[in-house]
Amino acid sequence: MGRLHLFDMDGTLLHGSSANVELARKLGLVEEFRGLDAAFAAGRIDSPHYARRAYELWQNLTAELVAEAFAASPWLAGIREVWADIRARGEYCVVISLSPEFFVRHLLPWGAHATFGGRFPELPFRGVPLDESGILHPESKVRIADRLCADYGVTRADCVAYGDSMSDAALFRVVATSVAVNGDYNVSDIATLSYAGRDLRDAYELVLGA
């Protein structure tokens, strides 16, 4: 039985940034999204509130701008190599992010078996209403992980979670192995392993050596 590797994206695979901030750079809205991120991290707003405001700010977003933002983002080194090794071992690698799925799914060609993110209308939105049932919460990561365990024939004991912040804490608490990648105080005390740096291969080596 192989392992299921569950990767957060913002602040984890993306070094010091988030999909929303990288999208905001394309729209000239960085300060607005930094403010939203700070309010969410402080618990002043919840996931639906964040999503509603982001949806308002993304009205001029296009698929082309998303692709440009993805390509220009500060990714950790070694992501493709780690996922290729995971696949070669007969194991699974999945990305679960609170960021929009229209950004997260660009990681599929890099070798992820699946990606999950908040569901928004297809771009451009053209006034289509936001269905808030598709918005992910930190606890959604546990629900998705359990569904993946059933799909792949593994258990929580076979899961490795990689994350950096509050949105990963719930998942860290239920899996056997967790790796804080450039993690903050929300995960530093509950992570099994800890890595600081800019190369996912080094964080992965900690898992292989554990």
User: What structural domains and CATH numbers belong to the chain?
Assistant: 4-16+75-209 (3.40.50.1000)
Predicted pLDDT of residue 1 = 64
How far is the CA of 130 from the CAs of 38, 125, 133, 154, 199, in angstroms?
23, 9, 9, 34, 36
CA distances from 11 to 32, 147, 192 (A): 18, 24, 18
pLDDT one digit per residue (tens) for the chain, 210 residues: 689 999 999 999 999 999 999 999 999 999 999 899 889 888 899 989 999 999 999 999 999 999 999 999 999 999 999 999 999 999 999 999 999 999 999 999 999 999 999 999 999 998 899 999 999 999 999 999 999 999 999 999 999 999 999 999 999 999 999 999 999 998 999 999 999 999 999 999 999 998
Q: How far apart are CA 180 and CA 168, in angstroms?
A: 9
Query: Nearest 5 degrees, angle CA 159-CA 165-CA 139?
Result: 60
Q: What six digits make up the tokens of 159?
A: 């899961």
120: left (phi over 0), alpha (psi -120 to 50) or beta: beta
**CA–CA separation, 34 and 43 (whole Å):** 14
DSSP state of 76: P
Instruction: Name the token pair of 131.
Output: 């269905």
The overall longest dimension of the chain from CA atoms, in Å, is: 50
What integer pLDDT is reported at residue 126 of this predicted model? Answer: 87
Residue 131 has phi, psi (to 5 degrees) of -90, 105
- Which residues are within 8 A (CB) of 51 and not within 5 positions of it... i.e. 6 or more apart? 118, 120, 130, 132, 135
Q: Could you tell me the pTM of the whole model?
A: 0.96
Q: CB neighbours (10 Å) of residue 150?
A: 10
